[in-house]
Amino acid sequence: MSQYAVVDPSTGETIKEYPTITDAELQDAIARAHAAHAQWIETTSVAERAAIVRRIGELHEQHAQRLGEIIVREMGKPISEAVGEVGFCKDIYGFYADNAERLMADEPIELLGGEGSAVVRRSSFGVLLGIMPWNYPYYQVARFAAPNLVIGNTILLKHAPQCPESAAAMEALFHEAGVPAGVYINIYATNEQIKDVIADPRVRGVSLTGSERAGAAVAETAGRHLKKVVLELGGSDPFIVLGSDDLDATVAAALEARLGNAGQACNAGKRFIVVDELYDAFLEKFTAAMTAAEPGDPSSPETTIGPLSSELATTRLADQLKRALAQGARLLTGGEHSGNFFRPTVITDIPEGADARYEEFFGPVAQVYRVGSEEEAVALANDTPYGLGSYVMTNDEQQALRVADRLETGMVFINAVGAEGAELPFGGVKRSGFGRELGRFGADEFVNKKLIRVGG
């Protein structure tokens, strides 16, 4: 079977295979992207590029149902979530279109001494490589491509091997919107070929969203060749419950944080850390809600949890859960799967030193911990190699801000789930990666901030 193929995770059926790019074709793609860069920045203004990016978003909205149906069969996302993902992409393209000229404007510097002036002028890098994951096939591309097209960079896009149809659909939309053929090129490349792309001196930077292992491999190659890298990797985000005026609402938020995209999100709530006085009631209500959540046919508008993305994803999650239980964790509900349909699962009493405390569970498995104090909650939340996002639930505003300051994460959401936005920076620290996407900070990653100093 080809490395790039649409395999329906609901049925295991291989729907279509796509040929991997040849080495000669790949060299041609790099050459075309490199040649297109000069023309792209010389023949278009920021405003003109912004208009094209806006049109990309409009085409996403226009084709939302068709695009959603593609990723239902590629990675099993329920159709309502799939169409919603496409809608979020329109917001991202719209944000960068609306703010392009402001984000690229000259930044004057007040001189401490001497005559004349100084300004920082932002300009494009050149050819960028984007390496995208399967869990949000459109959204991940949007947050990389939208700012960089506005900036004037050109893009080689390697999508996940199980997302070739959505990758092709996006390339077609980009070109329909007016992006020149050499400015955005979809490549079905192998990991070995990608090493050569990163090494190529015509490629100026790399952005990867994916696993910790993939990030380390890409960073190693990029570092050897002195390439700028942005990495958004895994997470084991804490969901900290310190207080609540409405425990049912808090449980509903916890359920949303754990089960969105069948739990296959880097910034999903994965470790639920609850103070002693709320623990028993929270655990009872949360376990009941997880038990009641039923995986179903992702093509149905009524379905809220689809299958895991692949047989490999299911096997990995089942093996992690089995190991956690063997090391002493207690299973409260779930644990079974039929094909790739994995029942929502709750485990607790995870012993200190168990692997589960330090791994990312990429699927609908929730860990619940009891803590005796705010101090203990923060210590447990930070006791992880990851540092992507975090959630703090409390009715004490000062406590919320105090805890937020102490969490070793790139993002903190207080009394909110699903509150990400096109204008908000996304990224982490520790082994969750470095750099930011979205918002103003996402537009500042792959730009040359050139100082222009004029004498008196």
- Same domain flag for 67 and 160: yes
Given its phi and psi angles, is residue 392 left (phi above 0), alpha (psi -120 to 50 degrees) or beta? beta
Could you read off the pLDDT of 184-236 as tens digits, one per residue?
999 999 999 999 999 999 999 999 999 999 999 999 999 999 999 999 999 99
**How many structural domains compose the chain?**
2
Same domain assignment for residues 185 and 225: yes
Q: Residues 370-386: what's their mean pLDDT? A: 98
Q: Is the pLDDT of residue 4 over 70?
A: yes
376 and 351 inside one domain: yes
Same domain, 336 and 194: no
Residues in the chain, overall count: 456
What CATH number does the domain containing 396 carry? 3.40.309.10
Give which of 20, 452, 448 is closest to 205, Cα–Cα. 448
Q: Where are the alpha helices (DSSP H) in 243-300?
A: 247-259, 276-292
User: What does the alpha-carbon distance between residue 58 and residue 67 come to, in Å, rounded to a whole number?
Assistant: 13
Position 163 pLDDT exceeds 80: yes
Other beta carbons within 10 angstroms of residue 398's beta carbon come to 8
The answer to whether position 97 is within a domain reads yes
Give the pLDDT confidence score for residue 114 in this predicted structure. 86
Name the residues annotated as catalytic.
232, 266
Q: How far is the C-alpha of 168 from the C-alpha of 108, rounded, in Å?
A: 42
Provide the domain limits for residue 13.
4-233+432-454
Question: Do 394 and 272 belong to one domain?
Answer: yes
The per-residue pLDDT for range 43-58, each reduced to its tens digit, is 999 999 999 999 999 9
Both 405 and 449 in one domain: the answer is no
In this structure, is residue 308 part of a structural domain?
A: yes
Q: Which tens digits make up the pLDDT trace of 271-287?
A: 999 999 999 999 999 99
Q: Token pair of 306, please?
A: 């689809």
State whether 272 and 394 are in the same domain: yes
How far, in Å, CA of 49 to CA of 51, rounded? 5
- Band (pLDDT 50/70/90 cuts) for residue 1 is very low
On whether both 120 and 210 belong to a single domain, the answer is yes
User: Is there a single domain that holds both residue 246 and residue 203?
Assistant: no
Domain containing residue 197: CATH number: 3.40.605.10
In DSSP terms, 364 is beta-bridged to none
What percent of the chain is predicted at pLDDT more than 90? 99
Place of tokens 């803590």: 371
Q: What local confidence, expressed as pLDDT, does residue 156 receive?
A: 98
